[in-house]
């Protein structure tokens, strides 16, 4: 027996959090009856589960590592008609969706999956999955400003957790610097706001690692499927931090 929202997520309908919203909105029926409460236990092999009037079926779970280009929206559709992640996954038969977000201008590593339970764990801040960014910034930060990033920055939505900050390269002619920043939070435009707060706005931003996963071998705009061993390692890593 499994929780209803988890079964919906595993069917590739939505993330577990979104599945909970669907239940609260009365969009889910269990054996012909609308379910409004969380925590309902179901047998996916025996119970009839319907979302928006359609019976769900269990999809094979797949997870892809995508190298998102700049100028792509991290959604499966966009009302403004901008390029979005779904356009790169039209040949994938499963109904996949991005795990978390990267800004429109930000490029780099993004997981795309139909595994709602994995998505929930990767996105939830309590699991503290490290995210490594390379940020090209205006100006050359002093060691004192890097230390400020390491201690935490007071933003409009509160203090950031301590980050790892390293100066990778300096271009004195252009007055630019390349920083490596490691964080585990997922606030909106967090790295950009942190750099701006120390007086060095971001010119270009790339997420290069998520946990042990990296962009190695994946060209911009391309993706690869995670192996069973990588999925197991990722889940074990998240479980160890729960």
Adjacency order of strands within the sheet including 49-51: 33-34, 28-30, 49-51, 54-55
The residue to which tokens 């980050």 are assigned: 163
Is residue 103 part of the annotated active site? The answer reads yes
Of 103, 115, 117, 157, which one is the catalytic site residue? 103
Rounded to whole angstroms, the Cα distance separating 15 from 116 reads: 4
SS3 string, the chain, reads CEEHHHHHHHCCCCCHHHHHHHHHCCCEEECCEECCCCCCEECCCCCCEEECCEECCCCCCCEEEEEECCCCECCCCCCCCCCEHHHHCCCCCCCCEEECCCCCCCEEEEEEECCHHHHHHHHCHHHCCCEEEEEEEECCCCHHHHHHHHHCCEECCEECCCCEEEEEEEECCCCEEEEEEEECCCCCCHHHHHHHHCCCCEEEEEEEEECCEECCCCCCCCEEECCHHHHHHHHHHHHHCC
The half-sphere exposure of 126 on its side-chain side, counting CA atoms within 13 A, is 4
Q: Cite the active site residues.
A: 103
């Amino acid at each position: 027996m499994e929780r209803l929202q988890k079964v919906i997520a595993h069917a590739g309908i939505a993330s577990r959090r979104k599945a909970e919203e669907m239940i609260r909105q009365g969009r889910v029926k269990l054996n012909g009856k609308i379910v409004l409460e969380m925590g309902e236990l179901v047998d996916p092999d025996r119970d009839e589960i319907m979302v928006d009037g359609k019976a769900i079926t269990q999809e094979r779970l797949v997870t892809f590592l995508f190298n998102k280009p700049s100028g792509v929206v991290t959604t499966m559709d966009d009302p403004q008609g901008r390029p979005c992640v779904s356009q790169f996954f039209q040949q994938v038969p499963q109904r996949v969706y991005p795990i978390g977000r990267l800004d429109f201008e930000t490029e780099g590593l993004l997981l795309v999956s139909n595994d709602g339970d994995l998505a929930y764990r990767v996105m939830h801040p309590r699991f503290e999955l490290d995210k490594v960014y390379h940020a090209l910034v205006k100006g050359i930060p002093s060691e004192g400003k890097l230390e400020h990033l390491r201690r935490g920055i007071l933003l409009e939505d509160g203090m950031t957790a301590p980050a790892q900050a390293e100066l990778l390269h300096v271009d004195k002619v252009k007055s630019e610097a390349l920083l490596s920043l490691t964080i585990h939070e997922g606030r909106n435009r967090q790295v950009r706001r942190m750099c701006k707060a120390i007086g060095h706005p971001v010119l270009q931003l790339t997420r290069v690692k998520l946990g042990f996963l990296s962009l190695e071998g994946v060209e911009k705009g391309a993706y690869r499927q995670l192996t069973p061993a990588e999925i197991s390692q990722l889940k074990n890593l998240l479980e160890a931090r729960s």
